[in-house]
Chain A
Amino acid sequence: MIKIIGALLILLSGSSIGWIISGIYLNRVRELRELQLAFNIINTEISYEKTILSGALIKAAESLSSSLRYIFLEAARGLTVRIGKGFQEIWEETIEKYKEELSLNMEDLVILKNWGLQIGVSALENQINLNKLIIKRLELQEKGALELASKRVKIARYTGVLISLMLIILFY
C-alpha cells in the first residue's frame, strides 16, 4: 500500500513539474497578447483623446491581469507623484521590480523598456508610430512564443510524466 501511495506521489510531482514548465510557455503567449491590447488602448487614448501618459497607463492597466497590471499602475503613479525622475527611469525600474513574476523573456523585456525611452517626449505623430511599432514587435514575439509553446508544451508535460514513471520503475 505504501509503495502504491509513493508511486502515485512521484507521478503526481513529476507531472506537476511538467505542467508548471509548460505553463511558463503558455503564460508568455498570454502576457504578450495582453500587452498588445494594452498598447492598443494606450495608442487610442493618446491619438484620439490626447490623454496624458499617466491616464493612458491607468486605462491600459484595466485590461491587464497579474503583474503586468502592477507595472502599468505603478509607472502611472510614479508620474503623478513628484519624485524627480523621468518616465524612462520610472518605467525601467518598475519592469525590473516585477520581471521575476512574469513569463516574458529578456527580448520581450527589452522591447518593453525601449518603448519607455521615447514615449511622451515627442509630437503626436511620432507617438502613434512608436505605439504601432511596439504592437508590431509584440505580435512577432507572440508568433515566436506560440511556435515555441506548440513544440515545448507537450514535450514538457510528457517529460514530466515519463521521468516520474522512470523513477517509479527504478525504485520498485
Chain B
Amino acid sequence: MTLERRNRRLYYYRSVRDGEKVRKVYVGSGEIARISHEGDILRRTGREAEKEQEKEELERLEALAAPVLELSEAAEILARAHLITAGYHRHKGEYRRARSA
C-alpha cells in the first residue's frame, strides 16, 4: 500500500496480487486516501498481532504435547524390545512368533 503526495494532494493505492503479478489499485485521494491508509495500517497491525498470538498458542500446544510424544516413543521401543526378546517379530504391523525363536 502506498500513500503518495502529488501537487499537495494525497493519493492512496493498494497493492493487489493478480496471479504472479502485483497490481497497484487506486483507492482514493485527499481525506479518503488518508482514512483508507490508516484503516489498512490498523487492519494489518491487527492481523500481525493475531498471527503472533496464534504462533504463541501453537508453541504452547507443542510444548504440552512433547512429553506425551517422548513417553510414547519410550513405551513403543520398550514394548517392541520385550516382544522381540520373547521371540516375536513384526509382520505388517502385527507381531508373530519368530520361527528361529
A binds B: no
* Residues of B participating in the A interface, judged by any CB pair closer than 8 Å: none
